[in-house]
Amino acid sequence: MTLSNLIPNLDDRHFQDIVDEAKKRIPHYTEEWTDHNVSDPGVTFIELFAWMTDMILYRVNQVPDRHYVKFMETMGIKLKSAIPAQVPVTFWLSAPQEGVMVIPAGTEVSSTQTETEAPVVFTTNEDFNIVPPLFTAVVSRVATDTANEKRIVAHNKRLLDMGASNIGIFSTVPQVDDALYLGFENDLSHHILSIRVDCETASGAGVIPNLPPYLWEVSTGKGEMDWQTCAVELDTSLGLNISGRIELHLPQMDRTRIQDQNLYWLRLRVRAIGPAERQAGMLPYEVTPRIKQIGVASLGGTTECTHAQVITHELLGRSTSEPNQRFFLKHKPVLDARPGERVAVEEQNQLIPWQEVHDFAESGPEDRHYVLDHTSGEVRFGPAIRLRNGDIKRHGRIPPRNATIVFSRYRTGGGLIGNVEAGVLNTLKTAIPYIDRVLNRRPAQGGLDAESLNEAMMRLPLMLRSRDRAMTASDFEFLTRQAWPERVGRVRCLQPQPSSANPSVLPGQVYVLVVPEVKNKQSYIPAEQLRLAPEEIGRLASYLDERRLLTTRVFVREPIYRWV
């Protein structure tokens, strides 16, 4: 296939098509012109201009993609860079540790490398501390003689630690919502908790050993009705009928006050058996299980990872002291910068950090600014523009001659290739003591390839319509998605009308309601994933504030959810 066959035609009209179209318009503009034969001088001019237009269209159709990109850049429109996938990765310890184990930010995990495929590398977003649990309290919630009421019974934890106890953890005949509570002084969010139980053999009679009627849940700090279910990795206790070990993946937890003890609580709750559970074979307890001893330990933890590799201290080159200098990073695409990820220039024998900006329009001659093209990896310093009076105006400071220019730290990655299936990330590339293995228990989501030229050309009319200014409700919604596409799931712009019932509403107020993008849409979505952090609201509000009308007041917030 030749190159000409790969170039699409922007306008598929030819000479005769243009002539025919012009002749059809003659009666509309000049009714007295009735002779449309080729001998007519007017038709001669039509054919002349049609030939010239045909030549222009031919040339336009030969314009390479690079020209389209440059044309869009002159209008402030750039191709969107790749978006990295996100996934929680679980780190398993080789054995429980007495001290705190740190999984540093930037720790690399990857898929298995093969002869034909390179590994897909993910890195941890922030430090994660695996801490030993501080187990301090044990209580039970059991039924009373009054219907539908429960009472709290405290247990002697010291005797449980020594194995000198024998407690019934539920009511004599367990009832729905009976529970055993384990209280901790420290936060064990996203930890793998191992629970060793010494049970009285066959004390919890009546149940199917591999299908016990209970759930493990953690407190969220929002009262008795809002507890999060834990994922069970292992349960060898056969429904608390023999001594065994239980391994749980704990979700986000918070303090809750139970019997005047404000702790992080983990509970074992008797669940209701519905038709689906009964059909699967689940049966209720006939008597309560009895426990002699309980021991706990941390076996690891789960932290969020991003499809990216971290490159540190990359040398870009040396400055020539000329304006509009350009350098290229070795790896691309480049992900959005985090704190500490920036260009540094050697000045007076020390590296001075410079600031990344979108463009040089507001840059003064002494501003240490640079522009980074995240798609191509190009780093560009400020230009010098000659004014009509002959003066030179600089936009951005020029690095001194022979100054060393380095990129202190940046991340490269992103794309659809990062949307790996569960279990694919199984290799620890960064050596960490006492870490035995790693695994992603859920599929990675959110990875998108860099925007293609055709996709950008489809976006161009929307950008030109708003011209980066928010005037209508659709403008606010479009710009909100543009501000943070990987974080904004849904957005709706509303303008409340002043009324006698609500006099606090003033003219010009605009509310932008944002629903965040959730990571796992196929399962239960906790309320925390539908909340925007204050800094996230501030980021969106700041972006819209720069583009609103002077008389408009913009309020970014979450919608009010009605839970069902």
Domain with CATH 3.30.300 in the chain: 468-557
Q: Give me the helix-helix angle, 473-483 and 453-466, nearest 10°.
A: 140
Dihedral pair phi/psi, residue 479, rounded to 5°: -70, -30
Dihedral pair phi/psi, residue 143, rounded to 5°: -75, 150
With beta carbons less than 8 A apart as the criterion, state whether 441 and 90 touch: yes
Among residues 494, 529, 536, 530, the alpha carbon closest in space to that of 515 is found at 530
- In tens digits, the chain (564 residues) has pLDDT values of 444 455 556 567 889 999 999 999 999 888 899 888 888 999 999 999 999 998 888 877 777 777 777 777 777 777 888 889 999 999 999 999 999 999 999 999 999 998 888 999 999 999 999 999 999 999 999 987 665 778 889 999 998 888 888 899 999 999 999 999 999 999 999 999 999 999 998 888 888 988 999 999 999 887 777 899 999 999 999 999 999 999 999 999 999 999 889 999 999 999 999 898 888 899 999 999 999 999 999 999 999 999 999 999 999 999 999 999 999 999 989 998 888 899 999 998 899 999 999 889 889 999 999 999 888 899 999 999 988 888 899 999 999 999 999 999 999 999 999 999 999 999 999 999 999 999 999 999 889 888 888 888 888 777 777 777 888 898 999 999 988 887 898 999 998 876 655 666 777 889 999 999 886 666 667 777 888 888 899 999 999 999 999 989 999 999 988 877
Terminal alpha carbon distance of the chain:
57
Q: State the pLDDT at residue 460.
A: 78
Q: State the pLDDT at residue 2.
A: 46
Name every residue whose Cβ is closer than 8 Å to that of residue 113 and which is 6 or more positions away in sequence: 119, 427
CATH topology for 135-303 is Jelly Rolls (2.60.120)
The helix (H) or strand (E) run that includes residue 42 is: helix 41-61
Query: Which CATH number applies to 468-557: 3.40.190, 2.60.40, 3.30.300, 1.10.1610?
Result: 3.30.300
State how far the Cα of 478 lies from the Cα of 544, in Å rounded to an integer. 11
State how far the Cα of 139 lies from the Cα of 141, in Å rounded to an integer. 7
Copy the structure tokens of residue 182. Answer: 């384990």
The distance from CA 369 to its chain's CA centroid, rounded to whole angstroms, is: 28
Q: State the pLDDT at residue 293.
A: 93
Could you check whether the bond before residue 333 is cis, i.e. omega within 30 degrees of 0?
A: yes
pTM of the model: 0.77
Domain with CATH 2.60.120 in the chain: 135-303
What is the chain's Cα-based Rg?
A: 33
Length of the chain: 564
